[in-house]
Amino acid sequence: MAVTRFHLDVEVGQRRIRLEEYLFDRFPILSRMYIRDAIRGEKCEVNGRVENKGKRIRTGDFVEIELDLDRQTAMIPEPMPLEIVFEDSSLIVVNKPAGILVHPTHRKKNGTLLNGLSFHLNQHTDNGSIRPGLVHRLDRETSGLIVVAKDLNTHRILSRQFQKKLVEKMYLALVEGVLEKQSGTIEGPIGRFADEKRWGLKTDAKPSETRFRVLGARSDTSILELEPVTGRTNQLRIHCASIGHPIVGDTSRGGRTFEHLCLHASRLKFRHPKDGTLVDLTAKPPEWL
């Protein structure tokens, strides 16, 4: 076991989040259970003090933690078809189908995108040295582009771009009804209702903003291009439903039944971590479009 002590300076602009969430984002190659155990075992300090997983970290904090990066994770390599949109030595971008989990959970250990990527990235190596690191996430029922880092430095740089809102993300959605306006902005604070275990508009929650543009319409549905200015959980679903046009397939918010959610991450634009060149990628349109 090769334990390393990591020293992390919390970047300017980092939103206040729980210590465990901050570490999950920084070390995506490790299982959440392992990171929680490290915190519980007093292997983690914030500003020189041992803290629990719920400690809220902020810009300027100094985090130290002892971790073994060779620790076995839940990312069991598993062959699966992947639609690769871009790949080089630093990162890979794939077009994820609807219905596929992005990463393993304590209930589901295989059949996820990271299982497939772990196999793809290491099929020609003997030691499984490349471990896919999630930079952002898509819901299980959402299809489209997702970028995954091949090393910790790439993950750190890309994560910073996402945190500072330097990444352009665009989605396509099929929604119920025909909108009166051809473009506009949807605003409404989004938070979690703990008792009901759901996310929705909440007066005391964080402000949220989504820009929309109508690309086309039929008698009872419209195709929207959506840009999430903020990145709240289920933001696009919640905001579309809030203006009376839920996404088709989002039955919990008034959308009609469909084989999956009609929401597709269609475009990603970011700076390459190595040389700063602009990477502008577009996913193949989904069949429902």
Separation between Cα atoms, residue 45 and residue 51, nearest integer Å: 6
Q: Is the dihedral of CA 219, 225, 227, 232 positive or negative?
A: positive
The DSSP letter of residue 197 is T
Separation between Cα atoms, residue 24 and residue 203, nearest integer Å: 28
Separation between Cα atoms, residue 287 and residue 207, nearest integer Å: 33
* Bridge partner list, 223: 174, 216
The verdict on whether 139 is a catalytic residue reads: yes
> For the chain, what percentages of helix, strand and coil (3-state, to nearest 5) are there?
15, 35, 50
Which helix H or strand E contains 146, and what residues bound it?
strand 143-149
Q: How far from 176 is each of 135, 247, 279, CA to CA, in Å?
A: 31, 6, 33
In total, the chain counts a number of residues equal to 289
| Residue 223 burial by Cβ neighbours in a 10 Å radius (0-12, 13-18, 19+) | middle
Which of 88, 139, 220, 250 does the annotation list as catalytic? 139
**CB atoms inside a 10 Å sphere around CB 53:** 16
How many secondary structure helices (H) and strands (E) does the chain include? 5, 18
Where do we find the tokens 């500003």?
47
The residue type at 133? G
Question: 169-196 in b/e burial notation, b at 16+ Cβ within 10 A?
Answer: bbbbbbbbeebeeeeeebebebbeeeee
**CB atoms inside a 10 Å sphere around CB 12:** 10
Residues labelled catalytic: 139
